[in-house]
Amino acid sequence: MGVRHHKAGAGSCGAVGGPFSEGDHLGRPLPQAGEGGMIDMPLTVRRAIGYVRVSTDEQAAQGHSLALQPERIRQWCALRELHLVDIVVDEGVSAGVQLHKRPGGKELMHRLRTGEADVVVVFRLDRLFRNAQHGLNFVRDELDGRGVNLHSITELVDTTTPTGRLMLTMLWAVAEYERDTIRERTRSTMEGLRQQGRVYGTTPYGCVAVGGRWDEALGRVVGQHLYRDPKTWPHRELIVQLRGPHDGAEQLSLQGISTELEARGIPAPAGGRRWQKHSISRVINTHGGLKHIQPLPAEHEPAVSEAAQP
């Protein structure tokens, strides 16, 4: 049994051994190809393919490590007497990427469609999806019609039973709720800190971060305060005015604003001449929460300032 690693952005995959190299997950000899090249498998043996995913941020986390997940999958298959055909790995891939757009996910779906597995085994459900609807659609469209079951080790989900299917629906719904709650809490925290004139994340375009101290544990500067950058704040206000309508002025599109800024010779946040539409959109969307920011006092010079970002 091999482990196929797919790294984000890689154009090919590598495998340690092959699906039928030396022995199965218990070290037993694998069935040999018979006449016509077909492999004779006992009818009672269910074939499993494991799926492993870690994002870039999770690679250092023990609970999601590349070493831990395959090992747990092997142990699970041994316990359930599943013939582990292969383990497909997506390395450095976020759960936000659709399964068919992940290198390993694409291979997994292909192998399911060619009838190579009876069971898909994952360490956790969120290794496949964090969106409940996406997960349920996958089970319905890719697994049910082919008689393939899903096993999740952490949540002890087995879709061969009605209880397991109910648990699957509930767990994915809870995971989606938690994701949305975290997103909303983060948004509220960022808004609150900015209203207090404190820095959260990167310094917005048109602002300057003053003061702060280096936090060794976090590996970044904390305790900074935001002020209006006398050089770039007028450009921020100009962008909002150009978007209009304001004082009878016609509203400009994002492309129109980009053209106007470049014509006036106003540098983009990254330092180049060309303004990207997404940068302009971010300035417009965040301006309401920054209007209270005070001008930079004359006696202040930014002790530590990050590169301005929209």
Torsion of CA 157, 86, 54, 63, to 10 degrees: 60
Q: Quick one: tokens of 165?
A: 């299917």
Amino acid occupying residue 116:
E
Strand partners, 164: none
Nearest to 90 by CA among 46, 62, 126: 126
The answer to whether the beta carbons of residues 4 and 107 sit under 8 Å apart is yes
The CB density around residue 48, as the number of other CB atoms within 10 Å, is 25
Residues with Cβ within 8 Å of 84's Cβ and at least 6 positions away in sequence, in order, are 1, 24, 25, 48, 49, 50, 73, 74, 77, 121
DSSP string, 261-274: HHHTTPPPTTSSSP
Separation between Cα atoms, residue 308 and residue 238, nearest integer Å: 17
Decide: helix, strand or coil at residue 208.
Answer: strand
The answer to whether the beta carbons of residues 103 and 90 sit under 8 Å apart is yes
Active site residue 152: no
Strand partners, 149: 119
By CB atoms closer than 10 A (0-12, 13-18, 19+), residue 194 is buried
Residues with Cβ within 8 Å of 213's Cβ and at least 6 positions away in sequence, in order, are 221, 222, 223
Nearest to 49 by CA among 77, 91, 9: 77
Active-site residue, from 12, 21, 55, 65: 55
Kindly list the catalytic residues: 55
